[in-house]
Amino acid sequence: MNRYVLYTVGKEMGKLYVIPTPVGNLEDMTFRAVRLLKEVSLILAEDTRTTGILLKHFEIQNKMQSYHKFNEHKAVAHIVERINAGEDMALVSDAGTPGISDPGFLIVRECVAAGIDIECLPGATAFVPALVASGIPCDRFCFEGFLPQKKGRMTRLKILAEETRTIVLYESPHRVLKTLTQLAEYMGEERYVATCREISKRYEEVLRGSLKDLILHYTMNEPRGEFVIVLAGKEE
């Protein structure tokens, strides 16, 4: 029996709002996101310092609680109990949509198990603008997020080398050259790729070409900013 399927008698259950936040440009924040962040009882934030800057910009005065990958397993049961008792809460990550390569899946799953209503607002996610701007077919694609750092990485690269759909990856600046080099080893250096960095910011940049071209570029130019890598799928 699921321990959360215990409904509060005589009191309306709260709701969990999953709220995307801008990946770079604060003007991408939606009116509804601002309103809900003002109205909820508590904001669950991946990093309260980062979210605090966002709240200050939009003049949102509300309570926050840290909710990240290091404490989510310990915190989730109590959070679900509070929502079940009638509190509305908002979940935000540092940037983008919670649950997409960020904390969020666990609390959503537990709220679903408890019968709690979940409302996920549409909004910012880094890979969508990168995919569309890449010029690579986006009618069919697979999103891989961050590749495994150690165990399973080579196996994953072998599988992706045979993927015929467009492939979307996330990568940090200090690992992007290594990742591009490994992709070339498994897929061939002529595979077409686009790298997108600093999405929606002043220095947003999209580079397109072969893996060989982009490896050469980042060998000569230090990568900066968070990256989305969009790869053409294997030709059928």
Q: Which two tokens stand for residue 7?
A: 């409904």
Q: Report residue 118 CA to chain centroid gap.
A: 18
Between CA 225 and CA 198 the distance in angstroms is: 6
The CA-based angle 226-228-230, given to 5 degrees, is 160
Q: Where are the alpha helices (DSSP H) in 45-165?
A: 48-57, 72-84, 105-113, 127-133, 153-161
Q: Which residues pair with 211 in a beta bridge?
A: none
Beta-carbon contacts of residue 188 (< 8 Å; ≥ 6 apart): 211
Sort strands 117-120 and 15-18 into parallel, antiparallel or unpaired: parallel
pLDDT given at position 236: 83
Superfamily assignment of 127-231 in CATH? Tetrapyrrole methylase, C-terminal domain (3.30.950.10)
Q: Which residue has the tokens 């607002």?
A: 121
User: Which of 190, 21, 24 lies closest to 96, judged by CA?
Assistant: 21
Calpha distance 116→76 (Å, rounded)? 13
User: 15-120: which CATH topology?
Assistant: Cobalt-precorrin-4 Transmethylase; domain 1 (3.40.1010)
Residue spans of the domains in the chain: they are 15-120, 127-231
Convert 209-222 to b/e letters by CB count within 10 Å (16 or more is b).
ebbebbbeebeeee
Q: Which of 70, 185, 178 is nearest to 169 (CA)?
A: 178
Please give the chain's pLDDT, 236 residues, in tens. 454 444 444 458 999 999 999 999 999 999 999 999 999 999 999 999 999 999 999 999 999 999 998 888 999 999 999 999 999 999 999 999 999 988 899 999 999 999 999 999 999 999 999 999 999 999 999 999 999 998 999 999 999 999 999 999 999 999 999 999 999 999 999 999 999 999 999 999 999 999 999 999 999 999 999 999 999 999 98
